[in-house]
């Protein structure tokens, strides 16, 4: 019987930039009070099952989310893992998407990281985590664009926007399998956003 590693991919809690609709990317913006509450809500979703550890992106909004969840679950935080960082939006970081698209109508923001690069980087990171924790259960705190890009490649389907604090589960047993997308406290299985 092959080992199965389960990963709970969690989008970090809300930040002030999320609230204002600004592209964050690699800009290091901390959680706001709502984001800290979302992390606690996410921990309540996860407490129904046993988890071994939490691994985070190096960005403070993910680290903060991870610390809150790990403390609630009574497990440690390992990492951070640089491959879990959010997509870089380059020169568009700090702008709304609408402002960025007005400046660069073709969508080619200077220094924008391609979705293919984000997905490849994310898949490498998740593969490394699965290899480090064979037959383990790991909570992975990362970001919306990375989760959406990876899930899209793993499932070959259109993945909805990933909401702050949502849980998306995947399994590795020689091949990746998407188990759930956008589980939240208020919506249980999926959020229509």
Angle at 17 between CA 16 and CA 18, to 5 degrees: 90
pLDDT in tens, 93-110: 999 999 999 999 998 999
Distance CA 126, CA 138 (A): 10
pLDDT in tens, 137-156: 999 999 999 999 999 999 97
pTM over 0.75: yes
Beta bridge partners of 169: 8, 180
Beta bridge partners of 62: none
């Amino acid at each position: 019987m092959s080992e199965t590693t389960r990963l709970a991919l969690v989008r970090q809690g809300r930040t002030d930039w999320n609230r204002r609709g600004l592209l964050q990317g690699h800009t290091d913006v901390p959680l706001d009070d709502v984001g800290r509450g979302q992390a606690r809500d996410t921990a309540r979703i996860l407490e129904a099952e046993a988890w071994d550890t939490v691994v985070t992106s190096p960005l403070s909004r993910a680290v903060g989310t991870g610390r809150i969840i790990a403390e609630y679950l009574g497990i440690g935080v390992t990492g951070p893992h640089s491959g879990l960082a959010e997509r870089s939006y380059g020169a568009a970081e700090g702008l709304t998407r609408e402002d960025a698209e007005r400046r660069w109508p073709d969508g080619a923001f200077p220094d924008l990281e391609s979705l293919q690069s984000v997905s490849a980087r994310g898949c490498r990171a998740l593969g490394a985590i699965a290899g480090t924790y064979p037959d383990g259960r790991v909570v992975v705190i990362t970001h919306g664009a990375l989760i959406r890009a990876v899930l899209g490649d793993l499932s070959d389907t259109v993945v909805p926007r990933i909401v702050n604090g949502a849980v998306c589960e995947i399994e590795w047993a020689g091949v990746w399998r998407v188990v759930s997308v956008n589980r939240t406290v208020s919506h249980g299985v999926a959020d229509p956003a």
